[in-house]
Amino acid sequence: MALVVEAVNLKKTYILGKVPVEALRGVNLKVESGDFVAILGPSGSGKSTLLNLIGALDKPTDGTLLIDGVDISKLNDNQLAALRRKIGFVFQFFNLIPRFTARENVELVMSIADVGKAERRKRAEELLEAVGLNDRM
Question: What residue ranges of the chain are covered by domains with CATH 3.40.50.300?
Answer: 3-84
pLDDT digits (tens, 9 = 90+) for 70-118: 999 999 989 988 888 888 776 666 678 888 899 999 998 888 888 899 9
Q: What span, in angstroms and rounded, lies between the C-alpha atoms of 8 and 40? A: 19
Tens-place pLDDT, residues 17-53: 999 999 999 999 999 998 988 888 888 899 989 999 9
Buried b (16+ CB within 10 A) or exposed e, 85-121: eeeeeeeeeeeeeeeeebbbbbbeebeeeebeeeebb
The dotted CATH code for 3-84 is 3.40.50.300
